[in-house]
A and B are shown apart, each in its own frame.
Chain A
Amino acid sequence: MKPVLETIKLEMIYRVGKVDVPALRGVDLQVGAGEYAAIMGPSGCGKSTFLHIVGGMLQPTKGQVMIDGEDLTHMTDSQRTDLRRRKIGFVFQRFNLFPTLSAEGNLKLAERIHHKSNGGDSERRRDLLRLLKLEDKIHHKPLEMSGGEQQRVALARAVINRPAILLADEPTGNLDSENSQIVLDMLRDLNKEMGQTIVMITHNPEAALRADRIIEMRDGHVVGSRQNP
């Protein structure tokens, strides 16, 4: 089966002043449909850069990136944005919800961006909120929710449009251990019950153990990959 995510000799070099700083030095990676992969590595190993390139927010210096069969390497910014809208869901470390909108409002906005009518798919919204145990938070704004609840809303927003792949950038980085467990459980449920393909970057080994596969990065390379039992 065709992988949902495939990178071929992916390189990224940042120009800082007059100095070239290589962040990725040729990353070859595949993630299959329905797979839950965690990318681990120390700070500065290139995890976030990798995620941003795969998410279409950064143009790589060299190499190829395929998302669900579409090569975004040579796409324009508008084309990458379009691909991101159609096929990629993002969860950030800092939740990044719109503070002026309720939980439901944040989901509706994501649907609106995806070109749905203002009504959106209310049934899917309800299913997601139920799965993520947020039924009673639907009308609450972010400031009225805990960190864990906010991150769950962010999860719902990321998958409301059925993306081909969900990219999670340190989703538990700003959460306490209890809420971290809840969010990791939710990610697991999304993967198992809805078949959502997930790539999560983390520096937390316990979080990584929740995934099907752990990919290790160091100094811009993939240095290892192992299946979790």
Chain B
Amino acid sequence: MNSLVVANVKQRPLRTALSMAGVALGVILVVMVAGLVRGVSRDAAERQMNVDSELRVYDDDVNIASGANPLQMPRRYADAIKNGIQPTPEFPDIVARQPVAGVKEVTAVGLWVQTSVGGIGFETVEGIDWESLTKTTGIRIIEGRHVNDSRQGEPKFEAIVDRYYTEVNKGTDGNPVRIGSTITALNREFTVVGVYEPSVMSRIKLPLYTMQELTGGADIADNCSFLMVKCERPEMADEVREKIMEYYPGLKVIRTDEIPALYSQGLISLDIFLNVVIAVSVIISTMIILLAMYTTIIERTREIGILKGLGASKPFIVWAIEKEATFISAMGVLVGFAISVAGKYFIEASTRLKIDLEARWLLIGAAIGLVCGLAGALYPAIRAANLDPVEAISYE
């Protein structure tokens, strides 16, 4: 029986290959899309966590997990948390607050999302204040220099990048990014003046004031996307968090180590997208196997009649066809895996996208390929089993 399955598969190599390709396509869709979603999120979450600061402060109505946080939070909160705040003639209604105990340093960060160079994927750009950032995150310049506060009349269109960025990207002149290269951010050209490490959060950093100017329109507000808080001791993080939220109820404070979980929650909407991709894969794989096996039983009507003439039962005939479909589907799954692995390395080598091939999604992809193969062959198999033996044997 197995030799019959293999022999039948080899008899029509092109059709077999096309059927396998159809199943493989479904597997690739599921595995690669899920891998891309997971990989990009994991990569972003890891870089978000690779900082010394223990806390992150946001405006209460910001969706942290979306990754796109506009500059809507007043930067003065950084000063208020670190140094306390008093009413001023400009803001007479402010409630006076002491500095939050346990806070060592606070830095304000602006976040902007733009399309990657080459148009594939996206990347984030950060507006920073170098002095406070280096004290909060521990990053340092390993080549060139840092960017300066462009409010003080310093050049505005300068940026620093991490080492990974210099290794995989090219400047606007088409050459690898080096000190002095120009890159595009916020639709402007920026000169790279330094390379930093470790790689934390966004790979491109430029002066916060410049970002405020380029995104603020006519009214340049001194805003940021979030604050990072470095505590005097890490174990004080929860205490500091509670104090900040008590003093400033309109703020949301999370621990840095909670960020990956938040990114996962943000994937809920992407899970819906994944479900759509899975549904499309199911339909593709099922239809291709159904059409292939239907054509097969038409071509092999006489052989099915012979089987019936020999006394093959209906379950025997159904299983013979299902076995062939399962074999083709299994081969398609393996081809899909192979292409997914190759695709992962190719895409990661040629773009900045990260793809995680998780075992769970490989299993889901395999299950879809095999189950759809079985399901797609079922109607043709049942039809074959119910053929009239006399007519089938006489079929030309």
Is there a chain B Cβ closer than 8 Å to A90's Cβ? yes
Q: Which residues of B contact A105 (CB under 8 A)?
A: 3-4, 7
Is there a chain A Cβ closer than 8 Å to B314's Cβ? yes
Chain B residue at smallest Cβ distance from A108: B3
Whole-angstrom distance between the alpha carbons of A92 and B2 in the complex? 25
Report the minimum CB–CB distance from B314 to chain A (whole Å): 7
Contact (Cβ within 8 A) B311 A114: yes
Chain B residue at smallest Cβ distance from A48: B390
Is there a chain A Cβ closer than 8 Å to B1's Cβ? yes
Q: Which residues of B contact A21 (CB under 8 A)?
A: none
Chain A residue at smallest Cβ distance from B6: A100
Residues of A bordering B, CB below 8 Å: 52, 55, 57-58, 78, 81-82, 84-86, 88, 90, 92, 96-101, 105, 108-110, 112-114, 118, 157
Of the stretches B108-116, B141-149, B299-307, B348-356, the one at the interface is B299-307
Report the minimum CB–CB distance from A8 to chain B (whole Å): 22
Residues 288-343 (chain B) with a chain A CB within 8 angstroms = 302-303, 305-314, 316
Q: Which residues of B contact A97 (CB under 8 A)?
A: 306
Report the minimum CB–CB distance from A19 to chain B (whole Å): 19
How many residues of chain B have a CB within 8 Å of chain A? 24
Contact (Cβ within 8 A) B4 A109: yes
Report the minimum CB–CB distance from B96 to chain A (whole Å): 89
A85: contacting residue among B303, B312, B390, CB under 8 A: B312
Whole-angstrom distance between the alpha carbons of A54 and B389 in the complex? 13
Chain B residue at smallest Cβ distance from A110: B310
A113: contacting residue among B8, B314, B316, B390, CB under 8 A: B316
Report the minimum CB–CB distance from A184 to chain B (whole Å): 21
Contact (Cβ within 8 A) B4 A81: no
Contact (Cβ within 8 A) B306 A81: no
Report the minimum CB–CB distance from B297 to chain A (whole Å): 15
- Closest 6 A-B residue pairs measured CB to CB? A85-B311, A100-B7, A84-B311, A57-B389, A96-B306, A113-B312
Residues of B bordering A, CB below 8 Å: 1-4, 7-8, 10-11, 302-303, 305-314, 316, 389-390, 393
Q: Which residues of A contact B303 (CB under 8 A)?
A: 98
Chain A residue at smallest Cβ distance from B316: A113
Contact (Cβ within 8 A) B311 A78: no
Known: A81-B313, A85-B310, A85-B311. A96 touches B4 (CB 8 A): no
B1: contacting residue among A52, A112, A157, CB under 8 A: A112
Whole-angstrom distance between the alpha carbons of A121 and B8 in the complex? 24
Report the minimum CB–CB distance from B395 to chain A (whole Å): 11
Q: Which residues of B contact A78 (CB under 8 A)?
A: 313-314
Known: A57-B389, A58-B390, A118-B1. A90 touches B7 (CB 8 A): no
Q: Which residues of A contact B3 (CB under 8 A)?
A: 101, 105, 108
B309: contacting residue among A92, A99, A114, A118, CB under 8 A: A92
Whole-angstrom distance between the alpha carbons of A109 and B7 in the complex? 13
Report the minimum CB–CB distance from B40 to chain A (whole Å): 48
5 A-B pairs in the complex with CB atoms less than 8 angstroms apart:
A92-B309, A98-B4, A109-B310, A112-B1, A118-B1
Whole-angstrom distance between the alpha carbons of A114 and B10 in the complex? 26
Whole-angstrom distance between the alpha carbons of A140 and B220 in the complex? 86
Chain B residue at smallest Cβ distance from A95: B306
